[in-house]
Amino acid sequence: MGHTIYLIRHGESQWNLENRFTGWADVPLSASGVHEAKQAGALLQAAGVEFDRVFASVLKRSLQTTYLMLDEMDSLWLPIEKSWCLNERHYGALQGLNKSETAAKYGEEQVKIWRRSYDVLPPLMDAKDPTSARFDRRYQDLSDAQLPLGESLKKTVDRVLPYYAENIWPEVRRGKRVLVSAHGNSLRALVMHLFQMSEASVLELNIPTAVPMKVVLDDSGKGISRDYLGDPEWVKSKVHGVAAQGAVSPGSEKK
């Protein structure tokens, strides 16, 4: 007998719209992202999906998506456990920079390495940067060692997987219907683990915004299958949009 868990990346954020590296910057949903989140809830409701537990990051784009989606499902009463361990990968000094402009300056391949490689760190944020999580009250109980100045996907895996093993998988194994509302890279880390993906194959894994992913696991927690809800061509176009974010914009010149 299999176990089912649903994963969803937040709806389009304002910085997704502006094609900027976001990471731990606490950016709200765009108007389109609000629509996407409601649409995700409608897709789940139409499929007859219900949840018992919800897990989300502490970043507002994840939480706004969660609340809008659950409201659409008439399920705002559900308990939501929030954890920084489900936050997006920290993009260090790249946070706030436009991806296309950065690709024009450093090359598309370098930006792809920063965005999609497994163990390469981005340029690190200055520890004294006023936007550092060290100065954010939501992280006040964490040590400096726990708070990154930049992360590779490997470092993201190192915080996501223990949290999943200790908090989420036990609920799924007990038969609870679970939703994880998080981010592109924290979900990539989880999918990589569940389906035992190689470092090379995860490089090409692009998770679209606000499209519910149904994941079926065996009794040991290993992934059996994963499918997106929604029209396949629509999902394909959204995946392609994520993949294209690091490309040089037409007319850009390398510097």
Domains of the chain with bracketed CATH? 3-246 (3.40.50.1240)
Does the annotation mark 10 as catalytic?
yes
| Span 50-82, pLDDT tens digits | 999 999 999 999 999 999 999 999 999 999 999
For residue 248, the model assigns a pLDDT of 55
Burial of 96 (0-12, 13-18, 19+ CB in 10 A): middle
Residue 250 has pLDDT above 70, yes or no: no
Reading across the β-sheet that carries 53-56, which strands appear in turn?
80-82, 53-56, 178-182, 3-9, 213-217, 223-228
Does the annotation mark 88 as catalytic?
yes
Q: Are 12 and 33 in contact (CB under 8 A)?
A: yes
Out of 12, 72, 88, 151, the active site residue is 88
> Can you read off the two tokens belonging to residue 224?
């059996």
> Is the CA virtual torsion 23, 29, 30, 36 positive or negative?
positive
Residue 84 has pLDDT above 80, yes or no: yes
Which residues are CB-contacts of 201 (< 8 A; sequence separation ≥ 6)?
A: none
Out of 3, 10, 183, 193, the active site residue is 10
DSSP letter, residue 98? B
> Is the CA virtual torsion 71, 72, 73, 74 positive or negative?
positive
